[in-house]
Structure 1
């Protein structure tokens, strides 16, 4: 009988779900049976990618980003997040019994683990950034920002210890993609922490150019909608061809809203892969999964971090300093200038991907069940 693995990504944007796709495929390749579990748009995406697999709805965290102050956003929602994690633990316990689950792979769902079966946590954030590098959180002094960061990381490590393994989608040495987020000082990572190489559902191949730019939208509301409105507003005034992918997995609408602007609610992996390669420049958030997709495809980009989402702000600043990508703030978006700059930046290479690492880690995991 094949080992049955529960794969449960967080529904916060689509990145957690998309980076689980290579893991699901590797599990299937090695003979495991996969059960999907998430909520909202993340679960809808996985259902589209794997229609034959059992898919289960988990309690939602329902995270929103109404403003640019990360501390205020998360503090207000913390009771709901903790309650969702508790309900998630109860749901995981029931699913293990009901579906005869052999192991759990949770991408950033802190409550999705079990004392009965081996549980894995996937994250690129071993170290949570509460403020931009060198800048205190708005409304907080440097000292209080440092204290808040220390508390957040203590909380993070405490929850990580509830899992048997932690998989980090990056390479261990230099150069790497996640920087300080996914790498501690030498000797700080316990043996249960395993680097599995970057993960992307994308592939790189030659296709004819169709669009000057592709805007791929994702992330929590209302920031996703704010960015969509700004991009479309500026694209109307430019003599370039745009494809706007809204990231709305619950609908399927495709239309031209202007002669030069095509809008589609969602694209499955293969379609998005083709569209990305057929586009000159990527426009979107600086989320880690997007960074991995850009490395896999070698696309130039305009990165626009979600205001107040310090992980994205850190990654954007890091690649801007390195001259790898063009970075602009949402409140000061200038597509005309950004497209020029993006084409002068070199982008990333696929050197961060090592399929052998993922294959070995999955093999070791299955052997322990």
Structure 2
């Protein structure tokens, strides 16, 4: 089928969704979750085909990999989304004008949302759940590295849609070729919004080539600043969790910024990181502190490229600063505006950090690993927006709606 013909079918499906009641949407999502569990063996079999084509050392390998536990988590997230209130049809503002007109500002779906993503088959389930719950049809453009996984997942979803009498084109998976990507980015009249999820290269390509609106879900270059007033025990656990919980995801720690007066804590932080054999790229002062106390094959001197890098693996950099202002300056220079954290017991210092650091999520005394739609109580997420227009941070149901003005009259005409 030609891409334009496929997009026409999705557009028609999106219009039909306007008449589907929320209770029906809930039933569909709960059944998709059930079928994800019931078809775990099939999904894993198809996922293994994708994994067999990728080098296990590739940072994307962990994102591509599905397990029984991960599928269970995906199913649970879909159930959580199913049980949330619909974000559609909410009156945001209401007024009665002196001329008798009754005006309301009401939330509505975007219509058709396009997602371009790389080796993340979990996104296929997440996007469908959030789009359906918010009344949107979705066009998915996964990478060739996850083609078998994505085809299996979409086939399961479409079977459930047909079972409940909904249009199977409510979700569409485009072929994995570059030409299909280019057509998608120029799909005026068919796709209302494009959201890229993946590497900075993918995000840049979409932003530079799309002629329809784009919301950037940028790379996560995340810092944790251990302040002169930081609690060492808290810092050790926060740094370890932020770096090692899932190093291949965008909320993982990339750079520890440490106040020079607390460099004596660095060997203890290193001892914890050594549990997962984390590679450290240390600046001159932190390198001297760690030398002889951290394995030589895991400790390297930092270069300029060590900062502003999203490692997506068990690697991180360390930057020593002489002051709080220098810490904020370093973070401002290298941040991708995703998630930044401070470890400090000084309330004034924390408050200043929150005001000065420009990121979609700013933490005090907690791991950046929490930047996630489900962890924020949003059910799931379609991505972490690092821009400021319309949506910022974890994008869930509310961020997938726009609004329209409803004007009720009784025969009014505007005077000349």
Indicate the TM-score class for this superposition, using the shorter chain for normalisation.
under 0.3
TM-score (norm: length of structure 2): 0.26
